[in-house]
Chain A
């Protein structure tokens, strides 16, 4: 299954507005995208509650995985999103 790793660039970590933007983008791919912290279980990236409960902080590395048509392109776009400081924008 295609997967990518990326460090969280948002200064506040992956919660509040950045989490909401990420979840909306993951939902929009139409694919069952998951997100996991290093050594942790993957959770549904389309769930704002699960993503916020991850508590991924600024600089922490997460793994995104997805299966299906266009999974590679979808993951690349999500990686690009998490590489930006969403909170500052």
Chain B
């Protein structure tokens, strides 16, 4: 292990902060060995498998008992499946035909999976739960630990190839000190979740899985650095960086503005009423992106007007007189709705998603708008409603008419499609504001799937081509006198935030934990400096060069924030 001891390596820092702790490896699921010994005593093998399934079920139940509300039903459903007499019967049939135990479990589970997949919809989704039970049972049969995120006995740093949404459902900042993944990108699920929870995280850390479990590692989620088995001196330096960072952030809780007082509103990205209550307690000027998907996904039927009104009212009340920008449902092929599924598509990201789905299923959109209008009437809050995936003026007018007809005070659009950025002037003629969704805008500008971690180089938000597209959108905004905000991950990077402010963006929305660093960064620079930084970034040949150019122009205190 001498090659691994005391080694420092780098990934992409996606959630700032530092942490030191023992490494817990999230193990991948084993598969039944192709040469597994055949079953000769079916009765004994059957008893062994049932015993293992019972262990899996009790394990899931034990976790359910302490899990958060949203994770509990998933774990309980898993326990029920592990104890299922139909599954046990299917496994017995496989064992009687001579298959080895792990192979028999796999085959029996796949039979049910095939049946559920052919039924589609809700049933097809249960396949994930069923395969999770299989993975746990197979691992136990092979004498290994169950795969996935283990119960963390002591506060630890998690390492994984990548983390699935179900695996992160039970994570909390109490026990999970940091996250390091070998794959994943800056806009991956892991990155977004870590930032929301305020857990330091590094992605694309190739080699992290070669570090033995239990080794103490230090991570810096700002610069993306990982130190294996850090020395006293290295730990001291990390502490020092943490302290300087805290000092730099102690700069107050006021509204966002440059050193010379040019306002840039600092807003929170939220997804649920619970997020809203937490974010409202922090020093933010409102919500720049309320993702409403969480109300709709995993639902059999459309949530009623009453139910939606209740949730929206809770969110608006949490923020009082502060603005709340609501994005209408952004579902579609990769986030299908069970009650409005338009069927599979070849290229989901280019398919009938966002407003395109809204224009087909007007009942879904109209129900949502009706609920938003009712919640607005009830609270009198500063509500601004915007549509996702707008590409044309026709879509913008169609949406704006519907929103205004219900008496909602302000209507806007998301600019995520390059067409809308290029022709923002025409689109802004019909609406009151726009918000740049830099994650999607980048994937469409670079023709690079944002879920494809291998393309991380093309998905660097410093990419000058992306900055050019943002600049085009801002020029349209300035010409029409309409505000343009940013609600993608780019807005939460304290250095890139300076460039965006320099390009003319009037608000930045981000995970609430990122606001203090961005506030401090803005307060250290004048508007003119920001404009010079934007020009330097756009004049660069690549993303990394753009970032280096801007850092060289920045106040030295800014580096303490990274």
Contact A48 B119 (CB under 8 A): no
Given A20-B80, A53-B116: A46 and B123 interface contact (C-beta under 8 Å): no
**Nearest-neighbor residue (CB-CB) of B77 within chain A:** A20
Q: Specify which of A11, A47, A55 is in contact with B84 (CB 8 Å cutoff).
A: A47
Bound form: Cα–Cα A44–B85 in Å: 8
Hey, which chain B residues are within 8 Å of A44, CB to CB? 85-86, 89
Asked if B115 is at the interface (CB within 8 A of a chain A CB), the reply is yes
Chain B interface: which size bin? Answer: 10 to 19
Q: Specify which of B81, B300, B301 is in contact with A49 (CB 8 Å cutoff).
A: B81
Contact A15 B122 (CB under 8 A): yes
Hey, which chain A residues are within 8 Å of B112, CB to CB? 49, 53
Asked if B126 is at the interface (CB within 8 A of a chain A CB), the reply is yes
Contact B86 A50 (CB under 8 A): yes
Given A11-B301, A20-B80, A48-B80: A43 and B86 interface contact (C-beta under 8 Å): yes
Hey, which chain A residues are within 8 Å of B77, CB to CB? 20
Mask, B72-85, CB within 8 Å of A = 1, is: 00000100110011
Asked if A87 is at the interface (CB within 8 A of a chain B CB), the reply is yes
Asked if B305 is at the interface (CB within 8 A of a chain A CB), the reply is no
Interface residues of B in 52-82 (CB under 8 A from A): 77, 80-81
Asked if B87 is at the interface (CB within 8 A of a chain A CB), the reply is yes
Bound form: Cα–Cα A52–B124 in Å: 11
Q: Specify which of B89, B126, B300 is in contact with A52 (CB 8 Å cutoff).
A: B126
Mask, A12-55, CB within 8 Å of B = 1, is: 10011000100100000000000000000001101111101101
Bound form: Cα–Cα A87–B122 in Å: 14
Bound form: Cα–Cα A11–B122 in Å: 14
Hey, which chain B residues are within 8 Å of A43, CB to CB? 86
B125 to chain A, nearest CB (A): 10
Hey, which chain B residues are within 8 Å of A48, CB to CB? 80-81, 84, 86
Interface centre among A12, A23, A47, A87 (most CB of B within 10 A): A47
**Nearest-neighbor residue (CB-CB) of A11 within chain B:** B301
A63 to chain B, nearest CB (A): 18
Mask, B277-318, CB within 8 Å of A = 1, is: 000000000000000000000001100000000000000000
B60 to chain A, nearest CB (A): 14
Contact B84 A12 (CB under 8 A): no
Contact A49 B122 (CB under 8 A): no
A74 to chain B, nearest CB (A): 17
Hey, which chain B residues are within 8 Å of A53, CB to CB? 86, 112, 115-116, 119, 123
Q: Specify which of A47, A52, A87 is in contact with B123 (CB 8 Å cutoff).
A: A52
Hey, which chain B residues are within 8 Å of A55, CB to CB? 119, 123
Bound form: Cα–Cα A1–B479 in Å: 81
Contact A47 B116 (CB under 8 A): no
Hey, which chain A residues are within 8 Å of B119, CB to CB? 53, 55
Hey, which chain B residues are within 8 Å of A46, CB to CB? 85
Bound form: Cα–Cα A49–B53 in Å: 15
Bound form: Cα–Cα A46–B116 in Å: 18
Contact A47 B87 (CB under 8 A): yes
Bound form: Cα–Cα A16–B84 in Å: 15
Contact B301 A12 (CB under 8 A): yes
Hey, which chain B residues are within 8 Å of A50, CB to CB? 84, 86
Bound form: Cα–Cα A52–B84 in Å: 12
**Nearest-neighbor residue (CB-CB) of B108 within chain A:** A49
Given A11-B301, A12-B301: A49 and B84 interface contact (C-beta under 8 Å): yes
Bound form: Cα–Cα A45–B345 in Å: 36
Contact A47 B300 (CB under 8 A): no
Hey, which chain A residues are within 8 Å of B80, CB to CB? 20, 23, 48
**Nearest-neighbor residue (CB-CB) of A47 within chain B:** B86
The 6 closest A-B CB pairs, nearest first, are A47-B86, A50-B86, A49-B86, A53-B115, A47-B85, A12-B300
Interchain residue pairs with CB less than 8 A apart (24): A11-B301, A12-B122, A12-B301, A16-B300, A23-B80, A44-B85, A44-B86, A44-B89, A47-B84, A47-B85, A47-B87, A47-B89, A48-B81, A48-B86, A49-B86, A49-B112, A49-B130, A50-B84, A52-B116, A53-B115, A53-B119, A53-B123, A55-B119, A87-B301
| Chain A interface residues (CB < 8 Å from chain B) | 11-12, 15-16, 20, 23, 43-44, 46-50, 52-53, 55, 87
